[in-house]
Amino acid sequence: QKEVEQNSGPLSVPEGAIASLNCTYSDRVSQSFFWYRQYSGKSPELIMSIYSNGDKEDGRFTAQLNKASQYVSLLIRDSQPSDSATYLCAVNSLYNQGGKLIFGQGTELSVKP
């Protein structure tokens, strides 16, 4: 089982819709959870971090964490064509190699005008 799993996509949504991106992880002691956005050929950039169960909202983005189910998701409301990118889920455990961040393979999102 991969440590962090995401559907590779592509996930296609129309402009203005809600995009829902999902991620599961295998290490129960994971403590920190991140969503990075990566445009083609560019470096990953952090868009959300979440550390406790529940929802965290930042503008059009909402991260949801359920540690019991080992599941983290990202909702993008009012999706825009500029949101088209690959979204990387990353999970960290302080007990793993000095707090190594483990990345999923990413979900490619395409927002159609």
Question: Least separation, in Å, of the C-beta of 42 and another protein?
Answer: 7
Question: Least separation, in Å, of the C-beta of 78 and another protein?
Answer: 26
Tell me which residues touch another protein (CB under 8 A): 32, 34, 41-46, 49, 88, 90, 92, 97-101, 103-106
Q: What is the DSSP string of 29-64?
A: T--EEEEEEE-TTS--EEEEEE-SSEEEEETTEEEE
C-alpha closest to that of 51 among 22, 37, 69, 72:
72
Strand 107-112 relative to strand 11-14: parallel, antiparallel, unpaired? Answer: parallel
Question: Least separation, in Å, of the C-beta of 101 and another protein?
Answer: 6
